[in-house]
Structure 1
Amino acid sequence: MSPADVRWAGPRALLVELDSLEAVLAVHARLRENPAPGQVDVLAAAQTVLVVFDSRANARSAREVIAGLETQVAGAAAGSEAPVKIEVVYDGEDLTEVGKLTGLGNDGVIAAHTGQLWTAAFGGFAPGFAYLVGETDALNVPRRGTPRTAVPAGSVALAGNFSAVYPRRSPGGWQLIGHTAARMWDLEREPPALVRPGAKVQYVAVRELVEIISAGAEHAGEPHQGDQAHQSTQAPAGDRLEVLSPGPQALIQDLGRPGLGDLGVSPAGAADARSARQANRLVGNMPTDAVIENVLGGLAVRARGELTAALSGARTSAEIQGPEGSRAAPMYAPFPLHDGESLHLHVPEAGLRTYLAVRGGIDVAPVLGSRSTDLMSGIGPAPLAAGAVLPIGEVDIARAVGQPEPPALPGELASAAAGRPVVLRITSGPRHDWFTPESREALTQQVWTVTAESNRIGVRLDAGGQGSATAGKPLERARTGELPSEGVVAGSLQVPPSGLPVLFLADHPVTGGYPVIGAVIPEDLPAAAQLPPGTAVRFADVDPETLQPLAPTPST
């Protein structure tokens, strides 16, 4: 394999293209067992392995080493672990249709499904969802023409050459051939995923299943899979914070849970990590402590105990109300919030997300090592609601409260407030060759507009906008066909058939089946997370190794 087969997927990630599933699994296993310096995550997919690093320098130094891994590990022996056995009742709604499509009939489909070992090629889509590849092509069937809006948890399904079990109730277009009681995802188990990439699976036909009641929400289809005790109105001991109103959205966030892509779990964490770090720094917390992320103001909280707090991110006017009257709360500086006083945030003057830190940190129970709410996976604390009581952690008196600071994103928020396009730096690829030269040029030459459908999963963009010299147009592909699912990183500009890019943020899916034309660099993701609907955006190409411009930034 030549170095050309290793593509940049942003300045801190490499996408390794391989020519067989065996090579994918071998390279993935090698990098899991012997991580490269600075390696944060490694994710197997249909024909690629995504390797994520903590810095540009580590990604650059690992590129040539990773490019030579295939020849070193080709022909590696398969794992010796016993296959995972999954009992299935073959009563799926599409069983008869699959029998017709394959020419095998119902009994033949069951025999083919149970008569071979399946290999978990990669995860994604949802926590615990594993794409399994069989030993033959006998059950290669297309997806349904019309996807179901809700597939029951435990459904056993086929699509293309893959088989899978839906861990939770979710939309899906796969052909359903049966159901199982196996818990594909269980937070009380270590590891929580029943099947990980490289594992072997043996389906076993049974007449009936012993119903297993799962304590986790993952099998019942509940929206969130974590500790809910913080939502209780019963006051815990010690200092705490009562939520009077969450506003449009208020979530508990820290720096996320990286490294779990194989399980289908996105990193999550604060969408604007720079501002979350600043808020923690101002109150003397560790950078990893949990804060409240509030969208478009409206958050109101009451102190139960003597607290020290700070606000960062999108600038907003804030008021403290108490028995002695009211006073303004500053931005970007620590301030006291006395017992019984309430803090009220208004709509931001510029930006989208404001962060509230309390000295000691929001001390809810961590899930998979993080206190972050993940809206994509449904993992972590539920979105805050009125009446929730949040415990505050013990204060580390060795850490001093910080001094007032300037905003973490002064230039970007000023541009948005003034109606000027916000410029985000991008690196090209890894799938820029799927687009016409005209569209690759249009990506950086035309203005894009943030739409109201944007959220923590991604910023959705429309063509054209204020400051555009010509009417914008969607991006056109130079290649047809489907791209096999592959790993994606935060910042990826994924382009669906509409031709309108989606800029992935913190809760993005770990794999995607649409080509990624470029990736916003990590240094500019905090600005991307602060873009309200209607904001004009331009992209500027930079070199992934140096971040130096590849062409002059378009005039704004």
Structure 2
Amino acid sequence: MRCSFCEGESGVPKELRRQKSRAERTPVARIRINSVRPLSCRIGPSSLGSIPWDGRNGVAHRSARYDYGGDRYVFVEFSIDMELAENFKTLSMAEAIKQAHIPGIVEVIPSICSMLVEYDRASIHADPLIRRLREIEGSMTQLTEIPTRIIDFPILFADPWTTECAETFKSHHNTGQVPNLDFVAEVNGYKDRESFIHALCATPYWTVMVGFTPGLPWLYPLGVRNEEAIQAPKYNRPRTWTPDRAVGLGGAFLAIYSVRNPGGYQLLGRTTNPIYDARQRHPDFKENPVLLKPGDILKWRSVTREEYDQIWAGVEDGTYRFGIKPVTVEPEAYLRDPRGYTAANLGGS
């Protein structure tokens, strides 16, 4: 007996054809400028209100959720909300797991507020591994310092490549405004493009995770209050292509497109820094084809087209080296005073 999902003569399930037909008849909602509201992203100490305190050296603590991730992963989730406190805890625990040298662990892959722990089934089973991970979590009396880097990222705002892309997919956009930079500046209340660019370049961005495409960073603002975070809705419909090295904004997250691929983030500009080099030709990719890692801090630097071309020529021939400064972040000190700590230690203003 055939059900409503059985294929018809076209080879496409009937139910899916009906759903597609209904979707095509449904108009795509367009967002009005004055209808855009700040998204619910929690930043800084205000985010700690939902986390019970356990009294251990003043550290916010909430037990993680453990689950099976297929037959060779354990999934560990600290929160369903984007909270920097939980991202700090995720990175701290990821480092603690690595330092524990548990036999059978292949890799620890941190995400925004969760992680995957890959293990070798020939060496350890999931249940004893979960018990060991719980022990590590329970022994964490404070958020550990995070050795990381501040990296200079030159960016050409409203560049010709992302502008061409935005123009091509103008009908997919919320308002059809090109360049997208002007749309984002307007919905965030900036009087002009220049004031928006100044605000963005004054804000360091924290790499909460790397993924989606090889090397793509998910970036979150440091040292600002929730209502101050630059935010924007994604496109109504995604683009089928986006230039590599394009810098986009969706919600409160910035992302850099590592390769030419589909996307829906608002396009702000294009950076000179590649973030993925499969052949590892550039000296800064000698140890890893992926430039960024969770915890890296990006500082945007606005450049002219002439400066962009000069830097890119140096990137291509390997003579331009990325501006990288080692730094150690103290999560608990940051959470006590995000703005002050960022200004004093992380290049914020």
TM-score using structure 1 length: 0.36
Gaps of 5+ in 1: 217-556
Q: Secondary structure at the residue paired with 2:157?
A: coil
Letter in 1 for 2:292: V
Q: Deviations over 1:48-85 (max 9, x none)?
A: 11111111734322202212434544643443444011
Q: Which amino acid aligns with 1:63?
A: I
For 2:130 and 2:289, how far apart are their aligned partners in 1?
31
More strand by share: 1
RMSD: 2.5
Instruction: Name the counterpart of 2:47.
Output: none
Asked if the contact 1:2–1:68 (Cα under 8 Å) also holds between the matched residues in 2, the reply is: no
Q: Which secondary structure state, in structure 2, belongs to the residue aligned with residue 127 of structure 1?
A: coil
Aligned partners of 1:159 and 1:174 also within 8 Å? yes
Report what 1:90 is aligned to: 157
Report which stretch shifted further, 151-160 or 97-106. Answer: 97-106
The aligned amino acid for 1:140 is Q
* Aligned CA distance change for structure 1 residues 2 and 152 (closer, same or farther; 3 Å): closer
Distance 1:113 1:164 in 2: 13
The Cα shift of 1:18 comes to 1.0
Instruction: Look up the match of 1:201.
Output: 298
Equivalent residues of 1:37, 1:62 under 8 A apart: no
Aligned to 1:503: none
**Counterpart of 1:65 in structure 2: which amino acid?**
R
In the TM superposition, 1:499-538 aligns within 5 A as none
Query: 2:92·2:146 contact (CA, 8 Å) conserved in 1?
Result: no
- Residue number in structure 1 paired with 2:250: 159
1:109 — aligned with what?
A: 196
State the distance in 1 between where 2:317 and 2:139 align. Answer: 44
* Native 8 Å contact 2:63 2:78 kept in 1: no
1:304-339 deviation digits (Å, cap 9, x = unpaired)? xxxxxxxxxxxxxxxxxxxxxxxxxxxxxxxxxxxx
Q: Distance in 2 between matches of 1:78 and 1:94?
A: 37
Following superposition, the deviation at residue 99 of structure 1 comes to: 0.8
Question: SS at the partner of 2:262?
Answer: strand
Q: 1:87 to 1:73 in 2, by over 3 A?
A: farther
Deviation of 1:16 after TM superposition, in Å, equals 0.8
The letter for the 2-side match of 1:178 is G
Partners of 1:173 and 1:155 lie apart in 2 by 12
| Contact preservation (8 Å) 2:210, 2:293 | yes
The equivalent of 1:174 in structure 2 is 265
Q: Does residue 137 of structure 2 align to residue 51 of structure 1?
A: no
How far apart are residue 149 of structure 1 and its match? 1.0
- Provide Cα deviations, 1:242-275, integer angstroms capped at 9, x if missing partner: xxxxxxxxxxxxxxxxxxxxxxxxxxxxxxxxxx
Q: Distance in 1 between matches of 2:115 and 2:193?
A: 36
Once the two structures are superposed, what CA deviation does each residue of 1:98-151 show, in whole Å capped at 9, x if it has no partner?
112211242333223211221111111111111111113411222111211110
Q: Runs in 1 of length 4+ with deviation above 4 angstroms?
A: 1-4, 213-216
**One of 143, 147, 166 as aligned partner of 2:234:** 143
Q: Which of 17, 22, 41 is the matching residue for 2:88?
A: 22
Letter in 2 for 1:9: G
CA distance in 1, matches of 2:142, 2:301: 29
Structure index of larger Rg: 1
Identity of aligned residues (%): 25
Query: 1:436-495 CA distances to partner (integer Å, 9 max, x unpaired)?
Result: xxxxxxxxxxxxxxxxxxxxxxxxxxxxxxxxxxxxxxxxxxxxxxxxxxxxxxxxxxxx
Equivalent residues of 1:43, 1:122 under 8 A apart: no
State the 1:159 CA deviation: 1.2
Flag the 1:196–1:74 CA change in 2: closer, same or farther, 3 A.
farther
Q: Taking structure 1 as reference, are residues 180 and 95 closer, same or farther at Cα in structure 2, changes over 3 Å only?
A: same
If asked which structure has higher relative contact order (CA below 8 Å, sep 6+), I would say 2
Residue by residue over 1:339-392, the C-alpha shift from the partner in whole angstroms, topping out at 9 and shown as x without a partner, is xxxxxxxxxxxxxxxxxxxxxxxxxxxxxxxxxxxxxxxxxxxxxxxxxxxxxx
Residues 109, 139 of structure 1: 8 Å contact kept: no
Higher helix share: 2
Between the aligned partners of 1:94 and 1:4, the Cα distance in structure 2 is: 39
1:305-384 matched pairs, under 5 angstroms = none
Distance 1:44 1:81, change over 3 A: closer
- Give the Å deviation of 1:202: 1.2
Structure 2 counterpart of 1:121, from 195, 208, 212: 208
Q: For the Cα contact (< 8 Å) 2:72–2:120, is it kept in 1?
A: yes
Q: Deviations over 1:253-306 (max 9, x none)?
A: xxxxxxxxxxxxxxxxxxxxxxxxxxxxxxxxxxxxxxxxxxxxxxxxxxxxxx
Counterpart amino acid of 2:204? L
Contact kept in structure 2, 1:127 and 1:193, CA below 8 Å = yes
Spell out the pairing of 1:456-467 with structure 2 (5 A cutoff): none
1:380-430, Cα deviation, whole Å (9 max, x unpaired): xxxxxxxxxxxxxxxxxxxxxxxxxxxxxxxxxxxxxxxxxxxxxxxxxxx
Letter in structure 1 aligned against 2:243: P
1:39 aligns with 2:125: no
Count of residue correspondences: 216
Taking the TM superposition and a 5 Å limit, the aligned residue runs for 1:112-511 are 112-135=199-222, 136=224, 137=226, 138-186=229-277, 187-188=279-280, 189=285, 190-208=287-305, 209=308, 210=310, 211-212=312-313, 214=316
Distance in 2 (alpha carbons) for counterparts of 1:18 and 1:12: 20
SS at match of 2:268: strand
Instruction: Assess if the C-alpha contact under 8 Å between 2:148 and 2:295 holds in 1.
Output: no
Q: Distance in 2 between matches of 1:53 and 1:156?
A: 35
